[in-house]
């Protein structure tokens, strides 16, 4: 997975550490120096800052003290609860944090080999399709000998402060982390895809069936090492970080640290009871201020659970910022849930294996309409189809497709005044089965994402067998930027960009001819005839033939009234030759509706040939 890890700013950790060891000096990072510019981009807001190494803050510094856990993290004087919440989730996943903190044993302070310390560390984040290795020195900002930003519960533990510094380096400075999206940090820690869930819009508090389904989804993500976060939406500035009577805080990111079904009852009798409670555990990055309702740390509801079950859950009666809620109460109070899935692409896994396609592209503004690739959303009909277009196939009768569009991070360059992300999204159109050139007329839109100025936009959609085109766009035309498009399907989709507008002209064009007409054939349906023999075949499919090119529909099993709804597009060199449509399933059917569209004509035709075969001209 890390064979293609890229060195951030070209800094090679092993090379730099070796140089420091040979020279007997402690590393000082020239790309992220110990100055105010590394802290702020809008001016100093906290007074004079002293940069100190961990050895200057305590006698026995460590990367980890008694391992790593969500309790290690406490948010400092920075509005980056979104990042700290993601770190809390990360800390509960050993397989994940060891990717973010590589070679952690080698990076740990060694009390027996003090000469191995060079003041240099490195961490890894997934950025725009690549894992990047970020090198930092361990000089940390302090005021009155206390760490200003993220810090651990133990004063001699520094992994959280160092990871935060590496992340701030990627973004340009610490202040760039003030306000952000937990979904982005979860993706940066995993390389997964984040799915935002609007708990209000889904009405999960009122709809028990939908709530149960959502709990199972969250449980599956958690059990498969995914990361989860949640929050209560703040609708006004005054609402931000306002504490509710129940102890929860609005506009604040919480890390979900456990999801499970809790068995009620005591003793052997509990094992024969079918009743299990849907429970979810969260942590406040502040390290305090907890939920005070049912199933809070000291509530009487825990008397319904055996002592052994409570110990297994790790229930403690202390204000450590971590608490349990039942899922119904959770859906009542929380408004937003983020599920970050680790998409499994390994064929050796026992879990579902996804096929992944990754496309890199860009929105580029040009004067030539055929070369312009920044046409804006579908509201701008005159330019919408000038955007990049990507074709993919769904090869199952129906398949769940996951699509994630990510734009090149702009928050990482706030000092240059480019700190705002573009509003982005995408539409999905069902197209002809043989489509291989760019669309120039709108087709059947089957799905679309929201448009938002988030770094990532995600959509999950069940699609029928066929060919589709994804059109990723900015909301407004004329905006430029880079993007990453990731498509996940159950079977290979052969996703690729459509770059040609029409068949290319070659040296043989003069002799062989060049297409004079573009014709679209749309076979909609067939109708079963009355009195069909029950023993007759009933697996119809259609073949459309034009100038030696064929388009074959999927087979429709066990039906006399197939809804074909298939299209073929043909670039015709000989417009006078007919287009053949024939039923190869040999079912007693007649053609219901067929449309033939070119530059000047559109007709609906029927036939009652058994099995039918027809020629369109």
Q: Is residue 252 annotated as a catalytic residue, yes or no?
A: yes
Task: List CB contacts of 508: < 8 A, sequence separation 6 or more.
Answer: none
At residue 576, the pLDDT reads 80
CA 215, CA 328: separation in Å to the nearest integer? 10
Tell me the range of 412-421, 456-465, 574-583 where mean pLDDT is highest.
Answer: 456-465
At residue 608, the pLDDT reads 34
Task: List CB contacts of 552: < 8 A, sequence separation 6 or more.
Answer: 433, 541, 542, 543, 544
Q: Is the pLDDT of residue 337 over 60?
A: yes
Compute the Cα dihedral for 152, 156, 160, 166 and give only its sign.
positive
Q: Is the pLDDT of residue 135 over 80?
A: yes
By the 10 Å C-beta count (0-12 exposed, 13-18 middle, 19+ buried), 190 is classed as buried
Q: How far is CA 128 from the centre of its chain?
A: 11
Greater pLDDT, 504 or 616: 504
Task: Provide the pLDDT confidence category of residue 378 given band limits of 50, 70 and 90.
Answer: very high
Which one of 20, 81, 377, 456 is the catalytic residue? 81
Q: What is the dihedral of CA 375, 380, 383, 387, to 10 degrees?
A: 40
Phi, psi dihedrals of residue 156, rounded to the nearest 5°: -110, 20
Q: Where are the alpha helices (DSSP H) in 496-588?
A: 509-512
At residue 75, the pLDDT reads 83
CA 337, CA 126: separation in Å to the nearest integer? 22
Q: Is the pLDDT of residue 267 over 70?
A: no
Specify whether the CB–CB gap between 116 and 26 falls below 8 A.
no
Q: Is the pLDDT of residue 34 over 80?
A: yes
CA 350, CA 93: separation in Å to the nearest integer? 19
At residue 343, the pLDDT reads 85
CA 49, CA 215: separation in Å to the nearest integer? 46
Residue where the block lists tokens 């940069």: 51
Beta-sheet pairing, 549-552 with 355-363? unpaired
> What token pair was written down for 59?
């006698």
Q: Is the pLDDT of residue 149 over 80?
A: yes
At residue 511, the pLDDT reads 74
Q: Is the pLDDT of residue 124 over 90?
A: yes
Write down the pTM of the prediction: 0.86
CA 118, CA 16: separation in Å to the nearest integer? 9
At residue 603, the pLDDT reads 40
Q: Is the pLDDT of residue 303 over 90?
A: no
Compute the average pLDDT of residues 323-339. Answer: 95
At residue 594, the pLDDT reads 64
16-30, 55-69, 531-545: the lowest-pLDDT one: 531-545
CA 254, CA 337: separation in Å to the nearest integer? 10
CA distances 15 to 2, 21, 100, 404, 429, Å, are 18, 10, 20, 36, 50
What percentage of the chain has pLDDT greater than the value 70? 87
Which one of 150, 173, 222, 284 is the catalytic residue? 284
Compute the average pLDDT of residues 258-282. Answer: 75
Phi, psi dihedrals of residue 28, rounded to the nearest 5°: -125, 115
CA 262, CA 314: separation in Å to the nearest integer? 12
CA distances 42 to 179, 394, 461, Å, are 14, 49, 42
At residue 600, the pLDDT reads 37
Task: Provide the pLDDT confidence category of residue 612 given band limits of 50, 70 and 90.
Answer: very low
Task: Provide the pLDDT confidence category of residue 595 given band limits of 50, 70 and 90.
Answer: low
Greater pLDDT, 428 or 270: 428
Specify whether the CB–CB gap between 285 and 182 falls below 8 A.
no
Task: List CB contacts of 425: < 8 A, sequence separation 6 or more.
Answer: 377, 405, 448, 449, 450, 451, 452, 457, 472, 473, 475
- Mean pLDDT value across the chain: 85
What percentage of the chain has pLDDT greater than the value 90? 51
479-533: pLDDT as tens digits: 999 999 999 999 999 999 999 999 888 877 777 778 878 888 888 776 654 444 4
CA 484, CA 402: separation in Å to the nearest integer? 14
**Where is 424: in which H helix or E strand?**
strand 424-431
CA 249, CA 166: separation in Å to the nearest integer? 28
**Where is 124: in which H helix or E strand?**
strand 120-127
Compute the Cα dihedral for 582, 583, 589, 594 and give only its sign.
negative
Edge-to-edge strands, sheet with 50-52: 50-52, 140-143, 146-147
At residue 440, the pLDDT reads 93
455-464: pLDDT as tens digits: 999 999 999 9
Q: Is the pLDDT of residue 331 over 80?
A: yes
At residue 591, the pLDDT reads 55
CA 188, CA 452: separation in Å to the nearest integer? 19
Helix, strand, or coil (residue 437): coil
At residue 181, the pLDDT reads 86
CA 216, CA 490: separation in Å to the nearest integer? 20
> What token pair was written down for 286?
């502040």
At residue 528, the pLDDT reads 57
At residue 317, the pLDDT reads 53
Specify the length of the chain in residues: 617
Q: Is residue 81 annotated as a catalytic residue, yes or no?
A: yes
What does the DSSP assignment read for 332-390?
HH--EEEEEE-----TT-SSPPPEEEEEEEEE---SSTTT-----STT-TTTGGGS-EE
Greater pLDDT, 199 or 530: 199
Which one of 74, 151, 252, 429 is the catalytic residue? 252
155-164, 419-428, 585-594: the lowest-pLDDT one: 585-594
CA 130, CA 153: separation in Å to the nearest integer? 32
525-574: pLDDT as tens digits: 766 544 444 455 578 888 888 888 999 988 888 877 788 888 899 988 88
């Amino acid at each position: 997975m890390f064979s293609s890890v890229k060195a951030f700013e070209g800094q090679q950790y092993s090379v730099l550490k070796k140089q420091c060891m040979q020279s007997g000096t402690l590393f000082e990072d020239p790309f992220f120096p110990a100055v105010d510019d590394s802290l702020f981009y809008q001016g100093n807001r906290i007074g004079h800052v002293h940069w100190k190494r961990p050895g200057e803050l305590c006698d026995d510094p460590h990367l980890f003290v008694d391992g790593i856990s969500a309790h290690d993290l406490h948010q400092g004087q920075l509005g980056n609860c979104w990042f700290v919440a993601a770190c809390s989730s990360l800390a509960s996943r050993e397989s994940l944090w060891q990717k973010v903190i590589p070679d952690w044993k080698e990076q740990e302070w060694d009390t027996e080999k003090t000469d191995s310390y060079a003041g240099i560390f490195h961490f890894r984040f997934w950025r725009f399709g690549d894992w990047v290795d970020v090198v930092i020195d361990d000089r940390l900002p302090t005021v009155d000998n206390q760490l200003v930003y993220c810090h651990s519960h133990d004063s001699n533990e520094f992994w959280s402060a160092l990871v935060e510094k590496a992340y701030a380096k990627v973004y340009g400075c610490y202040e760039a982390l003030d306000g952000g999206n937990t979904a982005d940090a979860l993706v940066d820690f995993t390389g997964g895809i984040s799915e935002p869930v609007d708990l209000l819009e889904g009405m999960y508090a009122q709809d028990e069936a939908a709530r149960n389904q959502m709990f199972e989804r969250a449980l599956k993500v958690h059990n498969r090492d995914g990361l989860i976060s949640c929050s209560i939406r703040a609708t006004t500035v005054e609402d931000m970080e306002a504490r509710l009577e129940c102890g929860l805080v609005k506009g604040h990111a919480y890390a979900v640290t456990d999801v499970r079904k809790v068995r009620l009852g005591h003793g052997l009798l509990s094992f024969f009871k079918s009743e299990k409670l849907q429970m979810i555990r969260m942590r406040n990055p502040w390290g305090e201020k907890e939920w005070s309702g049912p199933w809070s740390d000291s509530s009487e509801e825990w008397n319904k659970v055996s002592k052994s079950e409570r110990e297994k859950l790790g229930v403690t009666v202390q204000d450590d910022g971590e608490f349990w809620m039942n899922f119904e109460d959770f859906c009542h109070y929380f408004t937003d849930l983020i599920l970050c899935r680790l998409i499994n692409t390994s064929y050796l896994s026992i879990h579902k294996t996804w096929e992944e396609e990754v496309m890199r592209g860009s929105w580029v503004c040009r004067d030539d309409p055929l070369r312009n690739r920044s046409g804006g959303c579908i509201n701008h009909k005159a330019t919408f189809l000038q955007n990049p277009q990507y074709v993919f196939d769904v090869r199952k009768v129906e398949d769940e497709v996951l699509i994630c569009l990510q734009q090149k991070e702009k928050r990482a360059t706030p000092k240059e005044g480019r700190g705002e992300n573009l509003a982005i999204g995408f539409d999905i159109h069902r197209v002809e089965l043989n489509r291989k050139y760019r669309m120039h007329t709108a087709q059947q839109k089957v799905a679309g994402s929201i448009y938002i100025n988030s770094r990532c936009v995600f959509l999950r959609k069940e699609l029928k067998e066929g060919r589709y085109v994804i059109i990723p766009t900015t909301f407004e035309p004329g905006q430029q930027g880079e993007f990453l498009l990731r498509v996940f399907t159950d079977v290979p989709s052969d996703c690729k960009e459509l770059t040609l507008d029409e068949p290319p002209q070659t040296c043989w064009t003069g002799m062989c001819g060049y297409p004079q007409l573009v014709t679209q054939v749309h076979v909609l349906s067939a109708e079963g005839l009355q009195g069909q023999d029950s023993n007759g075949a009933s697996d119809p499919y259609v073949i459309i033939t034009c100038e030696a090119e064929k388009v074959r529909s999927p087979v429709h099993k066990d039906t006399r009234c197939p809804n074909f709804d298939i299209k073929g597009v043909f670039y015709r060199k000989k417009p006078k030759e007919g287009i053949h449509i024939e039923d190869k399933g040999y079912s007693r059917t007649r053609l219901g509706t067929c449309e033939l569209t070119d530059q000047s004509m559109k007709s609906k035709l029927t036939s009652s040939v058994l099995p039918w075969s027809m020629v369109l001209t």
